[in-house]
Amino acid sequence: MTPAELSRTVVRAVRSVVDEGVLAVDVPRDVKVERPRPGGGGDYASAVALKLAAASGLAPRTVAEALRGRLAGAPGLARVDITGPGFLNFTLDTSTDRAELVRQVLALGPRYGYGDALAGQHLSFAPVDEPRALAVTSAAVALLRSQGAAAEIGPYGSERVPVLPDPRNAAPLAELVGADAARWAHLRAAAHDRPAPAAELLAQRESNPYFRVRYAHTRARALTRNAHALGFTSAPGDLDLPRDAAGRPPASTPAALRPHQNDTTPAPLLPLLADHPAALLRAAELRAPDRVARQLEAVADALLGFQHLVLPLGDEKPSAAHRARLALAEAAGVVLAGGLSLFGIDAPEFL
């Protein structure tokens, strides 16, 4: 279950309690779900009960209890808990969702995360000359289109708007580092930040986010080539990770594959892939390509954190688990390639 699917499930629960007369409120179009904050639990959380309580005059916990009753047993949910004054905490049923998520990413390819949430919106942007403004505008248009909006730059013959370059830049960044690296620097920096300097962009090390994202993509492609050389291909399925008596992965399990517990846990790969459609939508809504850059960095870090588990070691024979792990690595590579393509940046096969 993706965050968008979970949001729709919660909206249906709200509509149910409204139809039954338990709540007298307007049914929201969507419900925000996010990672649990400290003190919460499960995979996702929502403050929807607190917002509905303010409109209905009921206690937040009363609203939360009513929603939990409608959500119990919903497909894709293992359990729903209430914490604090009325926060809903959702634990997903991942028995089949993991393989299905990977299968979906691989089937959609670089278009995974595209949707129609912004269909019907028509936006136009005035042409600009300054390189960073042009990069951000072009990426915003690509993001908006990926979510169903009709977006373009200057469709009605609008005059070009000159944007003065930063006088602190002695030369255009693209002349120093190349078009792709310059585009990444312009888009990764938030609106109030300056792009990374040329020396940082050229550094071939993992402290350089531009290098790290592209390197992670090449590792995903290399894993596929190496698996083919060993005589097996990918197949979404059970990752077959060790678990303790309580059914949880032991502490030795790489962070990239551990289930998310709270904000202090390193971001795991599977939830990051599930979050990708919501990340693209939010970036499109806010015209904020830097959010996509941070999403890609997180996926790259998670992929690099577990790549050593994908291929058989020594005399080990390829198993269904290896095929499933390879499929997960390939899905991560697909997300990285798709995100870079929205920026107009090539995803390299070799680096």
Residue 48 neighbours by CB distance under 10 Å: 25
Between CA 292 and CA 283 the distance in angstroms is 7
Q: Which of 233, 306, 221, 239 is nearest to 97 (CA)?
A: 239
DSSP 185: H
Provide the residue type at 44 as one letter.
Y
> Where is average pLDDT lowest: 33-42, 288-297, 333-342?
33-42
| Range with the poorest average pLDDT among 44-53, 64-73, 147-156 | 147-156
And the tokens for 240?
Answer: 């077959």
Which amino acid is residue 97, in one-letter code? D
- Do 243 and 254 touch, CB atoms closer than 8 A? no
For the chain, how are helix, strand and coil distributed in percent, rounded to 5?
50, 10, 40
Which pLDDT belongs to residue 95? 57
Q: What is d(CA 224, CA 221) in angstroms, rounded to the nearest whole number?
A: 5
Burial per residue of 216-242, b for 16 or more beta-carbon CB atoms within 10 angstroms, e otherwise? bbbbbbbbbeebeeeebebebbebeee
Q: Per-residue confidence at 306, pLDDT binned at 50, 70, 90? A: confident
pLDDT at residue 218 above 90?
yes
Q: For 106-122, what is the mean pLDDT?
A: 93
- Closest by CA to 339, choosing from 302, 303, 299, is 299
Highest mean pLDDT among 37-46, 221-230, 233-242, 275-284: 221-230
- Alpha-carbon distance 61 to 84, whole Å? 9
What count of other Cβ atoms lies within 10 Å of the Cβ of residue 51? 17
Are the beta carbons of 76 and 9 closer than 8 angstroms? yes
- Judge contact between 17 and 31, C-beta under 8 A: no
| Predicted local confidence at residue 170, as pLDDT | 45
Task: Compute the distance between CA of residue 205 and CA of residue 33 in angstroms, rounded to an integer.
Answer: 35
Higher-pLDDT residue of 243, 34: 34
> For 49-93, what is each residue's pLDDT tens digit?
999 998 899 999 999 999 999 998 888 888 899 999 999 999 887
Closest CA to 181 of 206, 207, 202, 199: 202
Q: Give the pair of three-digit tokens for residue 347.
A: 């995803």
Mean pLDDT score of the chain:
85
Check if the beta carbon of residue 80 is closer than 8 Å to that of residue 88. yes
